[in-house]
């Protein structure tokens, strides 16, 4: 985060000035969508989206990025848990933006948008307006308002009813299925998310709702065209994300199987000595009770839209009960 803030400053000082100090777009100007491939951190597992504006005549090459957040914000973690995290629009030179991804070996795909001069100017002015100090912050929401939805709606407003896309992709797939795809079905991250997500995460998404994911937005625009049949993207190197599979030895099914085995062995030992190890229920029950309390809190006292009670919360106690049947059934 500190690194991001450092390279934002050089452009921030320029863009924070009144818009009259900045030149209008020339015929050499181009506006592109940048799609960054996933990283290893959980918050980077879904990739990232940004908008690049270049104009060789004005020696301009700047990237607008709606994914900036500050760990030093007062009560940051409490606000994050409640779903009240404020993100902001940042800007940097293209060089410094790319440097971060080059250092972590994360490819960045670029799609040059086929816009008229008036549309380029309108989108440029909209970005400058968004970047004003009083406008740049927004209340982040993972699925409804994030680094991908903001650029999409800016582009959609600029083009109006002239954009059409035949991209079907994963139409009808649920939020849960999409997130499983990016985190890995066998990963512990996916297991934790599944426990927290309620029934709303299993509702099918519309074509527009799935664009909260950078890869989906990239392919949506790749297949988009204007009403006259002209492709919306004039140049592109877009490619599917490469999702690393979860190693079997680090998967949650293995962890659940080991838990079952340990409880079963203790139950077998209890059966032989005819004594119930009550401490086992205490050790297993306290973390599960904390999990339930977290779900209750997030369901009723947070802004997270997909959190709720679901049948997957029963997996842990049912596994424990099945292992304990070794003692109960004689």
Give me the pLDDT at residue 219, please: 92
Q: Verify that 84 and 215 share a domain, yes or no.
A: yes
Q: Are residues 106 and 212 in the same domain?
A: yes
The verdict on residue 241 lying in a domain is no
pLDDT digits (tens, 9 = 90+) for 52-78: 999 998 889 999 999 988 767 777 767
Calpha distance 14→194 (Å, rounded) = 44
Domain count, the chain: 2
Please give the pLDDT value at position 168: 64
In a domain, 261, yes or no: yes
Residues 10 and 34 in one domain: yes
**pLDDT, position 164:** 76
Can you give the residue range of the structural domain that contains 314? 174-205+247-330
Query: What pLDDT is attached to residue 20?
Result: 42
The per-residue pLDDT for range 174-202, each reduced to its tens digit, is 999 988 888 888 888 888 888 888 888 99
Q: Indicate whether 124 and 214 sit together in one domain.
A: yes
Helix count (H) and strand count (E) of the chain?
11, 9
CB within 8 Å of 188: residues ≥ 6 apart:
250, 251, 252, 255
**Closest to 307 (Cα-Cα) out of 290, 295, 322:** 295
Same domain for 310 and 190, yes or no, is yes
How does DSSP assign 36-96, residue by residue?
A: EPP-SSGGGTT-EEEEEEEEGGGTEEEEEEEEE--TTSTTHHHHHHHT-PEEEEEEEEHHH
What integer pLDDT is reported at residue 193 of this predicted model? 85
Q: Is residue 162 part of a domain?
A: yes
131 and 191 fall within a common domain: no
What distance in Å separates the CA atoms of residue 36 and residue 42, rounded to the nearest whole number? 15
Helix-strand-coil split of the chain, %, nearest 5: 50, 20, 30
Domain assignment present for 242: no
Rounded Cα gap, residues 244 and 253, in angstroms: 18
Is 108 found in the same domain as 15? yes
Query: Has residue 42 been placed in a domain?
Result: yes
Same domain, 40 and 139: yes
pTM to 2 decimal places: 0.83
What pLDDT score does 7 carry?
44
The helix (run of H) or strand (run of E) holding residue 99 is: helix 94-103
Q: Please report whether residue 33 resides in a domain.
A: yes
Q: Kind of pairing, strands 163-165 and 86-93? A: unpaired
184: in domain: yes
**pLDDT for res 11:** 52
At 169 the pLDDT is 63
How far, CA to CA in Å, does 320 sit from each of 214, 225, 287, 304, 317?
Answer: 39, 54, 13, 29, 5
pLDDT at 78: 72
- Position 9 scores a pLDDT of 44
Pair (9, 113) in one structural domain: yes
Strand 48-55 vs strand 30-36: parallel, antiparallel, or unpaired?
A: antiparallel
**In 136-228, alpha helices (H):** 149-159, 175-183, 188-196, 214-222
User: Both 47 and 184 in a single domain?
Assistant: no
Q: Give per-10-residue mean pLDDT for the chain (330 aa).
A: 43 46 80 94 88 92 90 71 84 92 93 94 94 91 92 92 71 84 86 86 87 93 88 89 84 89 87 82 83 82 81 83 77
Residues 201 and 232 both lie in one domain:
no
Per DSSP bridges, beta strands 86-93 and 60-68 are: antiparallel
Last residue of a domain, one of 236, 255, 290: 236
**Quick one: 167 and 189 in the same domain?**
no
Residue corresponding to tokens 């997030």: 298
Indicate whether 120 belongs to any domain: yes
Give residue 281's pLDDT: 81
């Amino acid at each position: 985060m500190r690194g991001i803030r450092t390279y934002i400053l050089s452009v921030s000082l320029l863009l924070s000035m009144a818009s009259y100090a900045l030149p209008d777009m020339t015929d050499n100007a181009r506006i592109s969508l940048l799609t960054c491939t996933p990283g290893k951190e959980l918050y980077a597992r879904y990739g990232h989206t940004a908008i690049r504006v270049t104009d060789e005549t004005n020696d301009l090459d700047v990237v607008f990025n709606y994914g900036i957040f500050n760990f030093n914000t007062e009560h940051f973690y409490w606000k994050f848990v409640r779903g009240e995290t404020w993100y902001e629009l940042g800007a940097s030179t293209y060089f410094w933006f790319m440097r971060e991804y080059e250092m972590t070996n994360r490819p960045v795909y670029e799609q040059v948008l086929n816009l008229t001069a008036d549309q380029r100017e309108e989108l440029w002015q909209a970005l400058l307006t968004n970047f004003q100090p009083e406008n740049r912050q927004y209340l982040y929401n993972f699925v409804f308002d994030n680094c991908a939805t903001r650029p999409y709606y800016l582009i959609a407003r600029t083009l109006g009813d002239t954009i059409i896309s035949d991209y079907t992709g994963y139409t009808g797939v649920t939020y849960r299925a999409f997130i499983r795809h990016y985190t890995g079905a066998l990963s512990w991250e996916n297991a934790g998310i599944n426990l927290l997500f309620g029934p709303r995460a299993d509702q099918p998404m519309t074509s527009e709702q799935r664009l909260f994911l950078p890869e989906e937005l990239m392919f949506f625009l790749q297949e988009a065209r204007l009403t006259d049949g002209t492709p919306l993207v004039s140049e592109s190197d877009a490619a599917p994300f490469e999702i690393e599979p979860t190693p079997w030895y680090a998967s949650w099914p293995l962890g659940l199987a080991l838990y079952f085995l340990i409880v079963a062995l203790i139950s077998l030992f209890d059966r032989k000595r005819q004594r119930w190890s009550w401490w086992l229920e205490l050790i297993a029950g306290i973390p599960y009770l904390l999990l339930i309390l977290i779900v209750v809190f997030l369901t009723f006292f947070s802004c997270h839209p997909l959190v709720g009670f679901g049948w997957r919360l029963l997996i842990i106690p049912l596994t424990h009960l099945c292992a304990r049947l070794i003692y109960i059934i004689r």
